[in-house]
Amino acid sequence: MRKLAVILVLFFPLAVFSQEKLSRSGYIEKYWRVAVEEMERSGIPASITLAQACLESDNGNSYLAVKGNNHFGIKCHGWTGKSIRKHDDRRNECFRKYGSAYESFRDHSDFLMGGARYSRLFDLDPYDYEGWAYGLSEAGYATNPQYPELLINIIEDNGLARFDRMAHGQGGGSVQAAGDYHENTADATIVDDNGVVYYGFTLSRECRDENGAAYIVTGEGETIRSIAKEFSLTNRELKRYNGLDVKANKELPQGMKVYVSRKK
């Protein structure tokens, strides 16, 4: 009698892992520092930058933000860097792709500063977020006719105007920083007219530029892991940007130049 070979095929359920979505408050907490720094650099209200980022990126959860680090929905428009495709007003449109969220925030400022149609916005009061919201819409940043109201609602529902005051020390108080605004981990507080501290925060470090690539200078006790976390990068990305082959938790030499975006 012929023996029949029985082949057992075992099916194991595949675990599906999905990245936990950022909440709006979590997204704002993650990126408000770079919005404040960009306001200092460009004059664009931090509240507007944050509101646009929240709206355009779905609080950092959109396809463009996750796959392309594009937090502002900026299309290619002559872009010579990497790109990512997505259906929008037309099918398969070209959008800019960045090496990090930091690059996206910085390019958003440069995009507005370099566009002639946005030039008159920079004549507005830097605390006039309503004027900026309507001005962006009139200049054609978005096709949604409700765009200004959407931005203003995000700003007012989340109190984002406070970040505009942080940038320039206005709004009933002054910014008192330990050293220059851009110094690494400069503690600052806003103080009301009676001398009462009502908000304290730590400003993120200065990012310097070298031929279009952003870099920082390490302080005492910093590691690949700590720097990558600060700039929303993976350890592997940071190592690749700098050609490093060190353990993530190994301290880096103080005063070392570390690139936090891809070198050109």
Interval 156-165: pLDDT, tens: 999 999 999 8
Asked if 217 and 256 count as a contact pair (C-beta separation under 8 A), the reply is yes
CA 65 from centroid of its chain's CA atoms = 10
| Average pLDDT of the segment spanning 230-244 | 84
Residues counted in the chain: 264
The DSSP bridge partners found for residue 86 are: 93
Task: State the chain's mean pLDDT as an integer.
Answer: 79
The phi-psi region of residue 59 (left if phi > 0; otherwise alpha if psi is between -120 and 50; otherwise beta) is: left
Residue type at 68 in one-letter notation: G
How many contiguous H segments (helices) and E segments (strands) does the chain have?
9, 8
Spatial CA neighbour of 51 closest among 142, 175, 150: 150
Integer CA distances (angstroms), 64 to 94, 96, 165, in order: 11, 9, 30
Residue 105, token pair as written in the block: 């925030």
Helices (H), 43-146: 46-57, 63-68, 101-114, 129-138
Q: The sheet that has 174-177: what strands, in order across it? A: 174-177, 186-191, 197-203
Asked if 169 and 178 count as a contact pair (C-beta separation under 8 A), the reply is no
End-to-end CA distance of the chain: 73
pTM: 0.61
Instruction: Read off the pLDDT band of 6 (50, 70, 90).
Output: very low
Q: Which helix (H) or strand (E) holds 240?
A: helix 235-242
Lowest model confidence (mean pLDDT) among 3-17, 51-65, 235-249:
3-17
State phi, psi for 118 to the nearest 5 degrees: -100, 0
Spatial CA neighbour of 35 closest among 22, 50, 23: 50
Residue 169, token pair as written in the block: 């020390």
Contacts of 13 (CB under 8 A, 6+ apart): none
Interval 19-36: pLDDT, tens: 578 899 999 998 999 999
CA 29 from centroid of its chain's CA atoms = 11
Interval 179-201: pLDDT, tens: 222 333 333 344 434 443 333 33
CA dist 147 and 139 (Å) reads 12
Check whether 174 has a pLDDT greater than 70: no
Spatial CA neighbour of 208 closest among 175, 179, 182: 182
